[in-house]
């Protein structure tokens, strides 16, 4: 009789508890639904997005609180500086070299030179880039843009026309020797065809340089002045990393280029949870209409 009673109790427990147990397992194992959307970002919108993301990087926040952050002048870095300080930068002044159309363009106006932005424990300090570089220590951050991007191999490069190496020559020895973080904000517009290592080797070949015909360019840095290139390795931040940093969504570039102001633009697709994708759409909408750098 007792044996029969035990069997009955067991069957009742299985009948009542079994569905609850297995429904719980089924619920726990159900994957999170992934959704997707996309946006088209102009060059200026991409720069703004990247600037917002760099300002939120943990290594940057830590260096702002406890060490030194150097923001080297450059077009994308102008947006980084604005996002970190909350103040508008003079776009015409916050550049060193520049790439502009050789004819028929609205060039940046001449501007009084300004210093690179150097912050020590979050406060702007008025010292030269060379002096700031000498103060760098492990964990500090140098933020420097790039002219060429090899995204697949996670390598960037910067043009060098200054015979002493320019800002790269001033900072890189200290960045490498002292284990300083190098953050490289660079838009997907800078993607180049080919291996950047191979390209930099070609750019350093001492081949005779022929000048362009007289009057063929009104740019400050005409294309016939072939520069050398310096490889950069560090924390590369494109639009794709920016979206991940700011919303948690994953992103990829599906196509590029356009017209009517979308020349150089990137079509970005992003995926994630419904909340992540909605947040990314809101973020993209917030930067729409960012004026071109020279305006």
Cβ proximity of 118 and 125 under 8 Å: yes
Per domain, the residue ranges of the chain are: 46-206+217-245
Interaxial angle between packed helices 43-55 and 274-287, expressed in degrees from 0 to 180 and rounded to the nearest 10: 120
CA 286 – CA 49 distance, rounded (Å): 10
Return the closest-CA partner of residue 287 out of 37, 36, 46, 38. Answer: 46
C-alpha span between 69 and 120 (Å, rounded) = 7
12: pLDDT confidence band, cut at 50, 70 and 90? very low
For 272-289, the pLDDT digits (tens) are 999 999 999 999 999 999
DSSP single-letter state for residue 104? S
Q: Is 269 helix (H, G, I), strand (E, B) or coil?
A: strand
pLDDT value at 59 more than 90: yes
pLDDT at 219: 67
Q: What is the DSSP annotation of 217-259?
A: --SSS-TTSPPEEEEE-SEEE-HHHHHHHHH--EEEEEEE--S
Q: Kindly report the average pLDDT of the chain as a whole number.
A: 89
Maximum average pLDDT range among 25-34, 51-60, 109-118: 51-60
Confidence at 167, pLDDT banded by 50, 70, 90: very high
5: pLDDT strictly greater than 50: no
* β-sheet bridge partners, residue 253: 268
Residue 25 pLDDT greater than 70, yes or no: no
CATH value of 46-206+217-245 in 2.40.50, 3.30.410, 3.40.50, 1.10.238: 3.40.50
| DSSP H stretches of helix in the chain | 2-29, 43-55, 58-66, 75-85, 129-135, 166-177, 196-203, 239-247, 274-287
Q: How far is CA 11 from the centre of its chain?
A: 62
Mean pLDDT to the nearest integer, 143-165: 96
The tens digit of pLDDT for each residue in 99-112 reads: 878 776 777 888 88
CA-CA distance, 145 to 137, in Å (whole number)?
21
pTM value? Answer: 0.87
pLDDT of residue 14: 43
């Amino acid at each position: 009789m007792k044996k029969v009673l035990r069997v009955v109790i067991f069957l009742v427990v299985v009948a009542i508890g079994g569905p609850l147990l297995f429904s719980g397992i089924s619920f726990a194992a159900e994957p999170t639904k992934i959704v997707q959307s996309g946006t088209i970002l102009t060059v200026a919108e991409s720069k703004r997005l990247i600037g917002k993301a760099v300002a939120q990087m943990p290594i940057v926040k830590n260096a702002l609180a406890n060490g030194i952050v150097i923001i080297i002048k450059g077009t994308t870095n102008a947006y980084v500086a604005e996002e970190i300080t909350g103040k508008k930068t003079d776009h015409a002044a916050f550049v060193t070299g520049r790439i502009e159309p050789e004819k028929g363009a609205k060039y940046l106006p001449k501007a009084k030179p300004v210093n690179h932005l150097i912050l020590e424990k979050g406060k702007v300090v008025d010292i030269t880039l060379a002096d700031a570089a000498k103060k760098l220590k492990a964990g500090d951050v140098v933020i420097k843009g790039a002219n060429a991007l090899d995204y697949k191999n996670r390598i960037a490069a910067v043009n060098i026309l200054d015979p002493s190496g320019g800002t790269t020559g001033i900072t890189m020895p200290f960045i490498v020797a002292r284990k300083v973080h190098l953050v490289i904000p660079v838009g997907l517009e800078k993607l180049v065809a080919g291996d950047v290592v191979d390209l930099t080797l070609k750019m350093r070949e001492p081949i005779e340089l022929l000048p362009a015909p007289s009057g063929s360019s009104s740019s400050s840095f005409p294309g016939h002045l072939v520069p050398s290139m310096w490889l950069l390795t560090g924390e590369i931040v494109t639009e794709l990393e920016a979206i991940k940093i700011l919303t948690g969504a994953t992103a990829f570039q599906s196509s590029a280029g356009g017209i009517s102001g979308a020349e150089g633009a990137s079509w970005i697709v992003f995926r994630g949870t419904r909340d992540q994708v909605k947040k990314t759409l809101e973020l993209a909408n917030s930067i729409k209409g960012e004026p071109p750098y020279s305006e």
